Structures are given as C-alpha cells and as structure tokens.
Chain A
Amino acid sequence: MASKTIAKDIITLRGSAAIVSEFFGYAANSILYNRAVYPEESFAKVKKYGLPMLLTQDEGVKTFITNLTAQLSEWLEAGKLQRIVLVIMSKATSEVLERWNFNIETDKEVVEKGVSREKSDKEIMREIQAIMRQIASSITYLPCLDEPCVFDVLAYTDTDVAVPLAWIESDAKLIKNPQMVKLHSFDTKIHKVDTLVSYKNDDWDEEE
C-alpha cells in the first residue's frame, strides 16, 4: 500500500504536461459555457475535479480544443510554453473583451535533467477545483457580453519554437486599460499555472 501511495505522489514532466493541458481544455470549456460564448444547450455535463463540468458538444469547438490541448501538451513537455491566453472578442468588431491568462512557469531542471517531482494528485485536483470554482463564479463580476462573441487562443512560447502548420504568429490582442482579477493558481511542482482574467473596463458604469 505504501509503495502504491509513493508511486502515486511522483509526478513526471509528461504527466504534469497532461494535467496542465487537460486543465486548459476543461477551463476553456468552462469559460465558453459560463461566458455564454456558445449556447447553453451545446454543452453536456460530466464530472471532473470533483465538480460537474460542462463540455461542448459542438464538433468544431471540440476538435479545435482537442488539437489545441495536444499541441499545448507537446510544448509543455518541451518546456517551451510560457503562457496560454483565451481571448474573447466581439464577433462584429473583433474588439477584445476578455483575456483569460494562464501563466505557466516550468521547472527547467525537470526539463533539462528529466527528474521527477513529488506531489499528490489529490492536492493538484483540489487546487484545480478551486480555479474551476472561481471561473464559474466569475460571471458575478465580469461585465455582461451583450453581443455575439468569438474566442481565440494565443500561446506565448519561446522564440526558438517552430511554428506548427495550424498556428500563425499573432499580436498579443491586448485590452487597453483593463480591469484585472487574479484567480487561484495550481502547481504540479513541474508546471505552476497562475490564472488571471483581464477584461475591458466598463466605462458605462463609471460614467454613471
């Protein structure tokens, strides 16, 4: 029994990358659902991280997120990924309304030397659960998205990364004078993910 628990607590680079990429998949789904980027009925409920999570059933979005997580996993294993940003934009004007930042700090020693770290899955899951709860509760303070929106995913990588076929170089799609809310973070001891949402400052409220 003891050996089993010890074996469970050890985390490798590949495992960490898988956890982070999976987390991003679920987080993206949760954001798309909670921010009503896609209609409510296009999501199905599954249980993950001890929470009822919603996953899109739209084939296009599904394949997009699958391809995305696969690529992210590859970069995470190589330690080349610095940040992932899910950008929500206005469909009509392409104006950036929200930016969901997932800042990733990678333990370089693990990447270079291939060593493993020790952290229990339970603890990681608990941390991820906290983030998911915060994402779900973010609708309380984020401004309403009154217009049809689209999303985009940006990956901040090292400069020496070869650009894959399905990817192109882009600008950072920044928001001018954004409001920022820092969410919880989780750490696999190999990848530390800090979450932050920045959104367009609602001038209408201030004017009032």
Chain B
Amino acid sequence: MKKVLEGSMAISDSIRMTEPKVISAYPITPQTHIVEHLSQMVADGDLKAEYVMVESEHSAASVVLGASACGVRTYTATAAQGLLYMEEVIYNIAGMRLPVVLTVANRAVSAPISIWNDMQDSMALRDSGAIQLVAENNQEAYDMHIQAYKIAENPEVMLPVMVCVDGFVLTHTFEVVETIDHIEKVREYLPPLNMKYTLDINNPFSFGTVGEPSVYLETRFRLSNAINNSKSIIVDAANDYKEMFGKYEGALIDTYKMDDADTVIVAMGSVLGTIKDVVDELREAGKKIGVLKIRAFRPFPADEIVNALKNIKNAIVIEKAVSLGKGGILSCEIRDALYQRRINSVNVNGYVMGLGGRDITPKNIYDLIIKAEKEEDVDGEFFGLNNELLNKVF
C-alpha cells in the first residue's frame, strides 16, 4: 500500500516485516526515530521481539552478536560515533560469520561535532567484512532491509549487512513509500533463519576463539571469499524481490541514461535523486550524460563498474566521504578497478562534497560537471568550499 512515511518509519516498518527476535540499540541522532518506532512496536505487541536496552553502542552490537550466535534474527541501528564505537564488535560479528542486519543512519564524525549527514562513518568500516548497501530513497531503504536479511542469512554468505541510509536527508524525510501488505509474502521471500552452528548447550560450539598463526590466515581467506562471493547473492536477492514484490532499484549497481553517454556521474545514496534531475535537464539540452549508482559498496562490484564505464570519456565521482591523507575513496577504487583491467581511456575525477550536511544543490552539480570535464586525475578534491571562511582563523 502506498503511504506517506518518514524514512525512519519506513525502515522500522520494514524491520517489523522481517520479524527479528532480538533488537538492541542505543539512541543516537539521526538514527533515534527508527529504534523509537521499533521499541513502540514491541511494547504494543505489534512485533514479537525482545528489545534490549543498553548503555552504549558497543553493548548494543554485543547483544545482537550474542543473540545472533544463538541462532535468532537480530537488528540494530546506529550512526557516526556510535558506529565507530561498535566497530570492534562488528569486526567480530563478521569474523564469527553472524548474519546481523544493522542500519547506519549516515552521519558525519567528530570533531567538530556534527549531527548532519555524510558517509564518513560507514566508510570507516569498509574493511570490516560487513556487506555495505546504500539506499537512494526511502522506498529503497524499505526494500533493502528485507533484501539485507536474505543476503546475510544465505548459508554461503553468513555475514553482517549494513544498510546505509543518509541521516536526516532520508531518515527524517516524509515521502511516498509503497509498503508490503501481507507479512506472509515476506515470510515466503525470507524463510526463517536456519543456522548450521549456534550457541546451544546441548551441542556446544565456541565462537570467536583464538586463531593461532596456523589457522588465522585461512579463516580470513574464507571470510574474504564469503564477502566476494556474496555479489551473486545480492543480485539474486534483488531479482527475487523484483519478482515477488515488483520493486527493483538495482542490485550491485544501477545505470541511468548511460546508453550513448560520454560523461557519467558516479555516486551513492540520496544525492543520486538530485543528480538524476540535473541529468534529465542536461539530456533535454542535448548533453550525452548519465548516472552510475553504486548500490553495493562492499563487496565492491569492480567488474560491473568497469563494464558500465569502459566506453565513456569522463567519470565524475561525487562522494560524501574522504580518506584523510589519501583523497577520494570511491574514486580511488574505481580508478584501481579500471587500471587492473588495463583500461586507461576513462578520465576519472573524484570530488568530496556535502560533508557534515552541506546541502548539495542542482547548481553545485552543474558547476561541478563543467569543471570536471576540463580536469584530469582529480583525487578527492573538496568541492563547494566557502573561500571567505577559509581565510578566517579556526
């Protein structure tokens, strides 16, 4: 049914449909509404789950780790400093191969303190072994959480999935979302969790014990294979979802008006909406331009990206994150993927924009396109700076 929902409400409703048994979270802006709604659902009896109150994000992640190891479906959500505080536990969840799903309401990291949106928080966990999917709008956020469990719980995967949703820009925006009317359909798409190894007093196993030098390399190799091989499972999850619910927002990547394009803007998350509107206007004016959406950031869909970009001239990468001391993250990985395959005809320029909630306007995007097409090998240049402010002392 089509409804007008706040992003957080859409996400919590989608989680309700997946019927997790244990939810644990510590409130942090802009994630708060999501877990408030879930807590209300549990209190009202609309969701039969245990909602565990904790004193920190580290504990929240630890609760879902423990519960997941017992073989039940679990959920948590966080943002920014909260995610950084969870980081240690998330590496453990991945290493123990537990199918936890968590929402990251993407927010800038301190200092300075910023409650506003960018993707520096989830990028800090890119090497953790957690799958990272990024939603473009609230419909996709709704659909993606259901797909996330399908991917995480696949016996070949068994990994945490982070669903990245732009804080405020999506979590606090009301828009039209089509929800699933019948929970039975979700149960059909997402059968009950059935883990091969669980914490069971009648059949004891240990999780996360010491991996001596004689075995550690192999366990990490298998973890690495599991996340790399999850690409096909992510694609299947998207296709099966389309078949059952009629919604498809891409799988690993998605292309928009790229057929004949000379220039392509590459981005992740909610900024894609504004970019697509700009691209429509430029197309009407006769410019051959398209958009490449990265929907799965981990595993990194290198083959799919190269395949999509190999015949174009300019790739303009817009990212709301930066690797301090290096430059662009997404742009660097795209350039690496092209280099590995010996494709040197694509001019990749990467720009850092919108950090800490700085609004990205259509004019910013027009201005960037004009500038980027004249440049080469830009690696994470900050775009949209207020030069007046830079001349002042901080």
Physical interaction between A and B: no
Show the binding face of A for B, using Cβ within 8 Å.
none
